[in-house]
A and B are shown apart, each in its own frame.
Chain A
Amino acid sequence: MTDLHTDPVATAAPEATIAPEAPEAPEAPATDAPGAPDTLVHGLYREGEPIVDTKAPRGPIAERWNTRKFEASLVNPANRRKLTVIIVGTGLAGGAAAATLGEAGYNVKSFCYQDSPRRAHSIAAQGGINAAKNYKEDGDSTFRLFYDTVKGGDYRSRESNVYRLAEVSANIIDQCVAQGVPFAREYGGLLDNRSFGGVQVSRTFYARGQTGQQLLIGAYQALERQVAAGTVEMFTRHEMLEVVIVDGKARGIIARDLVTGEIETHLADAVVLASGGYGNVFFLSTNAMGSNVTATWRAHRKGAHFANPCYTQIHPTCIPVAGEHQSKLTLMSESLRNDGRIWVPKNAADCEKDPREIPEEDRDYYLERIYPSFGNLVPRDIASRQAKNVCDEGRGVGPKVGDFRRGVYLDFTDALKRMSAEAVAEKYGNLLDMYQRITGENPYEVPMRIYPAVHYTMGGLWVDYDLQSSIPGLFVTGEANFSDHGANRLGASALMQGLADGYFVLPNTIRDYLAKGPFPKLEESNEAVVEARASVDARVQKLLSINGDRSVDSFHKELGNIMWEYCGMERSEEGLLKAIDLIRGLRDEFWRNVKVLGAADTLNQSLEKAGRVADFLELGELMCIDALHRRESCGGHFRAESQTEDGEALRHDDEYAYVAAWEWGGQDGAPTLHKEDLVYEFVEMKQRSYK
């Protein structure tokens, strides 16, 4: 077998980086039964014991969350000051949790890599946030939001978690309004709602196209209020590079001060990771430049299971790649599909023509053709995949990037005739202006071009109902965990999950753990602490000393291409096996040939990027292995080998209705798959059909 993980720091200092065995948590048996024959599937991974979520209460679904809140131990207010909680991330999930735990009187240390907590990538969310308020009296309810989310997730999420999410959604809106979040309102002064992402009720609250920004500023202000009150200590421009585990429990982090370069040790009674999604493994995505997997990946290497890593959401309406220089992709709200019509030329020969000169009969409105009842409003995964299909057939439009055109038209001509330019501008003006700014083309005159882009990752660290990972004392919230969206996320539900986790769920569940503390005081000289810190130091020195020929970005781009090509919208066994090979080769070259200039003891953005890309190079392989093992099409995961006769996604509930939780296999080992069965008691599993 080839060398699986060629991070040479570990070769240089094996003691420092080899992950310890996963702690023997009862809910996560870590190893195979002793004596079981050790066979590797595909030569890549082994199957381990199943896992179960022991924290979810049984009984009627509507009572489970109340039961858990009641059963979770309380922490005496006088003791809270003595308990320290580290929270990595200041997006909706981390910012809301830091503010709330600070208000409750815990001692909180909050970290972000940006220069201010207000800049976390939650800020970029446009469309809105769902909540089951039923303000429109259109038949919405907690149960309906629960039902839609489970169905939207293609029956690959946990019922208990999703129900809780729907249940607390209404409290989120109350909380945000009280903080001064300026949601859109009607003339009567009450809150406005819209329908979003193909659901039939209007339950989405929004603040023009800047909902994420306004929600995050609410959480940020609550957080800064606690900084002023002295309950939260804020560490901006700090990047977490390792988690500290002592006696099987998460007890702190190692972080680099990005300004001075100093490697710092921060110790605590519990650690929360709210570090966002890992879509940047694809290099091009709608994520921020600094979005990374480092925080969760480092925890994975120390024993936290990584669940469903291959579940990626690809958003159909993004501005296409313009050239090799492209550094990120910009999303345009999918509300554009309400009035725009999507098409490509029928004949590849027309692809270079001015679209306005292509007559109606030579256009293929392919979504309207294939899905007459849903047309342009089919779900995200279907719209994305069909766009890829027509481009793969050679009917893509727009400039060639490489030797390929990746783009389809999103045409407002009919809408402009039907509604007047003013009405279109009123409804979509800011989006159309953004399009014009980026592309230099006027969408009121020329059809826009769109193409799918990586947008969200449903996978993440495995957590139980309490949001605790398989490492005791390590909690994971927001996009960084895997918990609520199954194989596909509904629009406007990530903001809901981030704030649900941060304001309402984590503060209630973490107390059950903290009630056992304060844990024995740790010294920085503790062996495990010293070791964690030394491994970070060694890695920084290693990255700076290679001094090869290739920039970090060039590796990142190459990895992104591999992931997009073979682990993107459509995956096949052959492609995934090839990708794994390519990634291993690339990772090997990275550690021999990357060129990182500058010093360790100063602001060094190349060094920051290098560490992130090194972790993406390991994650990418696990994503491919996960995609390979899941031989079904579900949600955002389309497997070429599993489709119906007319090319639609085919799920296999009999074989794959489980969460795939991966255990790190050690430096040169293979990962172990633990399955958590998904049991549906309240929702019946159905195949999706949009024809």
Chain B
Amino acid sequence: MNLTLKIWRQAGPKSKGEMVTYPVSGISEDMSFLEMLDVLNEQLNARGEEPIAFDSDCREGICGMCGLMISGKAHGPEVTTTCQLHMRSFSDGDEITIEPWRADAFPVIKDLVVDRSSFDRIIQAGGFISANTGAAPEAHSVPVPKPKADRSFMAAACIGCGACVAACPNASGMLFLGAKITHLGELPQGQPERDARVVNMLTQHDDEGFGGCTNIGECSSACPKEIPLDVINQLNKDLRHALAHGE
């Protein structure tokens, strides 16, 4: 396959960026999208041009490190992560634009690499169950009904990639936040801190500069782990309860 790539290049956090066009040839459909970029980077290196910076680590769709806006879609045309997208989803002659996640809360560091530490700070604000090591009761002392355990697991599958934010016209982080609220809130162990959790995490979310949710649903359609929109309903419900309880 021969392709035309238009890629965002930006030298550093404060530099002005621009789209640069790179033709690539000899791409096989068995390559992953990132392997296609590896090929381009080898060519750039050989010509003495600095390779394009992009993030990836596990390359098997689980660490959440990769993430590109591919022709306007977060993680590209399939429901998967950028690293699991393969070139057979494209055709010979295609023009593909490649940009970083765009959101105030995810500033660009270089080229396609962004800073997502705002997600970690949201977790610091309350995305945990306080259980010091050694203080845990025997695991079977608290049974968890299977439907609740399954829903908790479904929400816990979030990989923290940030595609939901990138896809949202408001750059809201509510799907990510709702997923954590649901993961911990469905479990008996998560109850004691439930009210404080939602209030503190939401405050942090807003302070980081993420936008509000207006129920558009782009987040959930872009999510590689198919986190459903109803985790945001759960978030709102938990918030109402917390406020009613005087948190």
Contact = CB atoms under 8 A, between A and B. Distances in A.
B133 interface: yes
Contacts of A289: 56-59
A119 B49 contact: no
A236 B30 contact: no
Interface string A541-578: 00000000001011000000000000000000000000
A349 interface: no
Interface string A149-173: 0000000000000000000000101
Interface string B101-145: 000000001100101110110011101111111111111101111
Nearest to B36: A325
B129 A438 contact: no
Contact of A224 (B42, B45, B120, B143): B120
A186 to B, nearest CB: 7
Given A191-B140, A551-B42, A323 B30 contact: yes
A9 interface: no
B58 A189 contact: no
A177 B139 contact: yes
A667 interface: no
Nearest to A290: B57
Contact of B131 (A179, A183, A217, A323): A179
Interface stretch (A50-58, A137-145, A195-203, A596-604): A596-604
A221 B138 contact: no
Interface stretch (B61-69, B163-171, B210-218, B233-241): B61-69
Given A178-B135, A182-B156, A504-B133, A189 B145 contact: yes
B228 interface: no
B53 to A, nearest CB: 6
B60 interface: yes
A100 B135 CA distance: 11
B153 A207 contact: yes
Interface stretch (B1-9, B90-98, B182-190): B182-190
A118 B160 contact: yes
Contact of A438 (B84, B133, B139, B156): B84
A503 interface: yes
B157 interface: yes
B156 A217 contact: yes
Contacts of B86: 437-438, 440
A213 interface: yes
Nearest to B42: A551
A457 interface: no
Given A119-B65, A224-B128, A606-B51, A114 B139 contact: no
Contact of A180 (B35, B88, B184): B184
Nearest to B133: A100
A439 B56 CA distance: 20
B39 interface: yes
Contacts of A288: 57-59, 63
B31 interface: yes
Contacts of A290: 57
A31 interface: no
A4 interface: no
Interface string A181-196: 0111111111100000
A605 B120 CA distance: 23
B157 A210 contact: yes
B67 to A, nearest CB: 11
Contacts of B159: 213
B51 A325 contact: no
Interface string B185-228: 00101100000000000000000000000000000000000000
A236 B160 CA distance: 15
Given A123-B62, A191-B139, A325 B84 contact: no
Using C-beta atoms within 8 Å of the partner chain, give the interface range for chain B. 35 or more
Interface string B51-85: 10101111111111100000000000000100010
B38 A327 contact: yes
Contacts of A228: 124-125
B46 A551 contact: yes
Given A116-B120, A603-B113, A124 B152 contact: no
B19 interface: no
Contacts of A124: 58, 60, 62-63
Contacts of B243: none
B112 to A, nearest CB: 11
A179 B115 CA distance: 27
B124 A208 contact: no
B56 A177 contact: no
A440 B85 CA distance: 11
B109 A503 contact: no
A220 B124 CA distance: 10
Contact of A121 (B58, B88, B113, B123): B58
B17 to A, nearest CB: 14
Given A440-B88, A603-B53, A595 B45 contact: yes
Contacts of A222: 128, 131, 133
Contacts of B39: 325
Nearest to B110: A603
Choose among B133, B134, B140 the residue with the greatest number of A CB atoms under 10 Å from its CB: B133
A171 B131 CA distance: 13
A551 B39 CA distance: 12
A227 interface: yes
Nearest to B143: A189
Given A121-B63, A323-B31, A114 B57 contact: yes
Contacts of B120: 116-118, 224, 227, 234, 236
A677 interface: no
A309 to B, nearest CB: 24
B59 A328 contact: yes
A463 B145 CA distance: 43
Interface string A67-102: 000000000000000000000000000001001100
A171 B139 CA distance: 9
B130 A225 contact: yes
A330 B143 CA distance: 35
A248 interface: no
B124 A224 contact: yes
Contacts of A189: 143-146, 149
B12 interface: yes
A176 B187 CA distance: 13
B21 interface: no
A262 interface: no
Nearest to B130: A225
Given A190-B143, A325-B39, A224 B136 contact: no
Interface in A491-527: 503-504, 507
Contacts of A553: 38, 42
A455 to B, nearest CB: 13
Contacts of B172: none
B187 A182 contact: yes
A114 B117 CA distance: 11
Nearest to B119: A116
Contact of B189 (A121, A177, A208, A440): A177
B35 A326 contact: yes
B58 A175 contact: no
B246 interface: no
B127 to A, nearest CB: 6
Given A288-B57, A289-B59, A434-B84, 5 more contacts: A178-B135, A440-B29, A603-B12, A603-B110, A606-B51
23 contacts: A103-B133, A114-B63, A114-B65, A115-B55, A116-B119, A133-B139, A174-B138, A182-B152, A207-B153, A213-B62, A222-B131, A224-B128, A227-B124, A234-B120, A288-B57, A325-B38, A325-B39, A327-B34, A438-B84, A439-B30, A440-B30, A602-B110, A605-B53
**Shortest beta-carbon contacts, A-B, top 8:** A189-B143, A178-B136, A221-B128, A178-B131, A182-B153, A174-B136, A228-B124, A322-B30
Interface of B: 11-12, 28-32, 34-35, 38-39, 42, 45-46, 48-51, 53, 55-65, 80, 84, 86, 88, 109-110, 113, 115-117, 119-120, 123-125, 127-140, 142-146, 149, 152-153, 156-157, 159-160, 183-184, 187, 189-190
